[in-house]
Amino acid sequence: MILLGLDPGLGNTGWGVIRAEGNRLAHLANGTIKTAPALPVAERLLELDRWLAALLAEHRPDGAAVEEVFVNSNPQSTLKLGQARGVALLAAARRGAAVGEYAPTLVKKALVGTGGAGKEQVRAMVARLLPGAKIASADAADALAVAITHAHHLATRTARGIAA
């Protein structure tokens, strides 16, 4: 099963593609989509959608997972993050991929064992679970972590006989 993980953001959206066969994981690709801060928000969202459509067409994932929005101290930043997340959800759903959503603390707990883990701890665990992967950025590492979390949840559901 091919899975796409997304760490959405208006300026930088991390993405990672893995293959999951039971508990076996393999890295396929990762990167970061960047939009130009000088462009109006609507144009940046359109650019994000175009990049995501191209990624989905290229990798043809069976499923996708998107990190949920966390509320930060700046309401405008939270709103822009939510808009980028909406584009990510729509792009995956439009392509027909089943979409999972995971809170940042759940992703950290699934990979590191604690919901309060730091970015470096997450990146180190991603590198350990996907040996040989050249991780493009912190955002890409987060996206791979989301994909790994989704793979683990799908494997658990399958083992328990629960429909995905």
Which residues form the catalytic set?
7, 67, 139
Task: Indicate the pairing of strand 98-102 with strand 12-21.
Answer: unpaired
Task: Tell me the Cα Rg of the chain.
Answer: 15
Sheet containing 2-7: which strands, arranged edge to edge? Answer: 24-34, 12-21, 2-7, 63-67, 98-102
What single string gives the DSSP state of each residue in 72-103?
Answer: -S-HHHHHHHHHHHHHHHHHHHHTT-EEEEE-
